């Protein structure tokens, strides 16, 4: 089967699926904006994208213009493939930046499968203690969903990684949705690490309890501020504890904090004098192979995201055999079906969260020291399984059995 992958940040969601599909004998080509390294077996067509100077326009118009420019650029690359005599049997696209807008104008008879991730609702933009969205936020939410609506209108199938994310979509689109995770690499199950060195200054020896937190950016939606409050409660009770925080200081989903400040700065300011920062290691972004080592050494990984889009890193931590402590919200309670050792706590009260962290760390350290194997990840989430399931969905589409 000839498959066209479209993602501005390719490989993106297709990082593991694309090589798995290649291994199953399919021919892959891709359209992308970035120049990130990927599997050399994939012919990647790149498009350029420059943001022009804009003035005197509506706040939302700039983003819509961006979508249209990217959509046109992606369609031009698809047209170039068509002129070379290559046509896909199926197209897989992430619609979030506009690239899926005009693909059907090039390959009108080719099935389109999209990865829309989330239909935004009020609760996804509310930052407590805010209780209702302002008009500007509601307009922004509506405009973002317009883009998803266009993709769902054109596609034959929409793939969502969790039932929570799928349930956020309106009833009118549910018939097109299938819940299928992108898959977790089977080779992550390498066993626990007893010791880990991070640079020349930090070595975590076997007797040291290690707590971890990871997010693309350290921001409120992902629970970073609540995590630090729990650590502040916990540190006096566990004087040997070392905490590893993986992530950058920017903002992915929580909006921008006050001028000249980061969400990390604000969280630390609120807890000034309550944290022993010598035992908290902010290590920024890590190469994937190094992040996996952190998970394999951690005695407890804490994931406190609000209900939104589930992070890949969480399932990778579970696949590494790392005990996980998660917030009690609709998205995360779904983890009960994912296997692994996952416990839950109310992260909005620092004392309850800190106590749950303490119990989880003690349990996790004891099991690691004794060499006890953690509960395995649900086999349905392994890459070998999800790639096969996706392949069957694509074959059904190609053969008109949908």
Question: Cα 330 vs. chain centroid, distance in angstroms?
Answer: 17
| pLDDT above 90 for 194 | yes
Q: What percent of the chain has pLDDT over 90?
A: 80
Least confident of 76-85, 91-100, 122-131, 237-246: 122-131
For residue 143, what are its two tokens?
A: 């405009």
Output Rg (C-alpha) for the chain, integer angstroms: 22
Q: Quick one: average pLDDT of 281-306?
A: 95
- Three-state DSSP string of 297-317: HCCEEEECCCCCCCCHHHHHH
Burial 188-226 (b: 16+ CB within 10 A, else e): bbeebbeebebeeeeebeeeebbbbbbbbbbbbbbbbbb
CA distance 226 to 219: 10
For residue 137, what are its two tokens?
A: 């936020």
Place 32 in a pLDDT band, splitting at 50, 70 and 90: very high
Least confident of 23-27, 28-32, 260-264: 260-264
For residue 39, what are its two tokens?
A: 């599997």
Q: What sign does the dihedral 253-256-257-262 (CA atoms) show?
A: positive
- pLDDT value, residue 401: 66
Q: Round the average pLDDT of the chain to a whole number and report it.
A: 93
CB half-sphere exposure, 328, CA atoms < 13 A = 10
DSSP, res 254: S
- pLDDT value, residue 292: 95
| pLDDT above 90 for 153 | yes
Q: Quick one: average pLDDT of 95-122?
A: 96
Q: Which residue has the higher pLDDT, 88 or 125?
A: 88
- pLDDT value, residue 19: 96
- pLDDT value, residue 391: 94
For residue 350, what are its two tokens?
A: 């620092």
Query: 196-198 and 202-204: which strand pairing?
Result: antiparallel
- pLDDT value, residue 256: 76
| pLDDT above 90 for 137 | no
Say what the pTM is. Answer: 0.92
Q: Quick one: average pLDDT of 92-120?
A: 97
CB half-sphere exposure, 31, CA atoms < 13 A = 29
Cβ proximity of 181 and 386 under 8 Å: yes
| pLDDT above 80 for 187 | no
Q: pLDDT tens for residues 366-398?
A: 999 998 877 888 999 999 999 999 999 999 888
CATH architecture group of domain 2-183+382-398: 3-Layer(aba) Sandwich (3.40)
Residues linked to residue 344 through DSSP beta bridges, in sequence order? 326
In terms of Cβ atoms closer than 10 Å to its own Cβ (0-12, 13-18, 19+), residue 282 is: middle
Domains 2-183+382-398 and 189-377 share a fold: yes
Of the candidates 233, 209, 204, which has an alpha carbon nearest to the alpha carbon of residue 293? 204
End-to-end CA gap in the chain: 17
Q: What percent of the chain has pLDDT over 70?
A: 99
Helix (H, G, I), strand (E, B) or coil at 374: coil
- pLDDT value, residue 252: 76
| pLDDT above 90 for 1 | yes
Q: Which residue has the higher pLDDT, 125 or 365?
A: 365
Q: Which residue has the higher pLDDT, 260 or 132?
A: 132
Place 190 in a pLDDT band, splitting at 50, 70 and 90: confident
CA distance 73 to 236: 56
Q: pLDDT tens for residues 199-233?
A: 888 999 999 999 999 999 999 999 999 999 999 99
Q: Quick one: average pLDDT of 73-77?
A: 97
**Domain boundaries in the chain?**
2-183+382-398, 189-377
Place 125 in a pLDDT band, splitting at 50, 70 and 90: confident
Q: Which residue has the higher pLDDT, 201 or 79?
A: 79
CATH architecture group of domain 189-377: 3-Layer(aba) Sandwich (3.40)
Q: Which residue bears the tokens 């990684």?
A: 161
Cβ proximity of 363 and 342 under 8 Å: no
- pLDDT value, residue 402: 60
Q: Angle of helix 224-234 relative to helix 350-369, nearest 10 degrees?
A: 70
Query: CA angle, corner 45, sides to 42 and 48, nearest 5?
Result: 145
């Amino acid at each position: 089967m000839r498959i066209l992958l479209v993602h501005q940040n390719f490989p993106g969601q297709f990082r593991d699926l694309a090589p798995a599909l290649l291994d199953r004998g399919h021919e892959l080509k891709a359209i992308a904006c970035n120049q990130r390294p990927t599997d050399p077996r994939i012919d990647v067509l790149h498009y350029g994208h420059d943001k022009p100077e804009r003035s005197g326009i509506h706040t939302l118009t700039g983003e819509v213009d961006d979508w249209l420019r990217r959509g046109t650029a992606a369609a031009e690359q698809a047209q170039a493939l068509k002129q070379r005599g290559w046509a896909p049997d199926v197209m897989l696209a992430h619609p979030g930046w506009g690239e899926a807008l005009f693909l059907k104008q090039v390959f009108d008879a080719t099935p389109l499968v999209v990865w829309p991730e989330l239909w935004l609702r009020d609760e996804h933009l509310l930052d407590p203690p805010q209780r209702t969205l302002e008009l500007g936020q509601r307009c922004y939410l509506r405009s973002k969903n317009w883009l998803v609506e266009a993709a769902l209108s054109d596609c034959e199938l929409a793939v969502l990684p969790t039932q929570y994310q799928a349930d956020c979509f309106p009833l009118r689109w549910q018939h097109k949705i299938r819940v299928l995770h992108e898959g977790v690499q089977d080779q992550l199950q390498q066993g626990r690490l007893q010791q880990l060195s991070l640079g020349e200054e930090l070595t975590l020896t076997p007797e040291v309890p290690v707590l971890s937190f990871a997010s693309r950016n350290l921001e409120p939606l992902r629970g970073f501020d609540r995590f630090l409050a729990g650590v502040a409660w916990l540190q006096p009770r566990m004087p040997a504890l070392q905490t590893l925080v993986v992530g950058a200081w920017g903002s992915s989903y929580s909006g921008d904090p006050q001028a000249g400040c980061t969400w990390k700065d604000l969280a630390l300011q609120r807890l000034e004098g309550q944290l022993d920062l010598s035992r908290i290691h902010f290590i920024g972004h890590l190469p994937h192979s190094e992040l996996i080592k952190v998970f394999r050494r951690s005695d407890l990984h804490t994931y406190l995201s609000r209900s939104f889009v589930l992070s890949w890193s969480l399932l990778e931590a579970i696949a590494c055999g790392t005990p996980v402590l998660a917030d009690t919200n609709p998205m995360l309670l779904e983890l009960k079906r994912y296997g692994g050792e996952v416990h839950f706590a109310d992260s909005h009260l620092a004392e309850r969260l800190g106590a749950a962290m303490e119990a989880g760390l003690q349990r996790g350290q004891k099991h690691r020291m004794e060499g006890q194997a953690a509960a395995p990840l649900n086999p349905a989430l392994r890459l070998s399984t999800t790639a096969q399931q996706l392949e069957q969905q694509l074959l059904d589409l190609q053969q008109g059995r949908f």
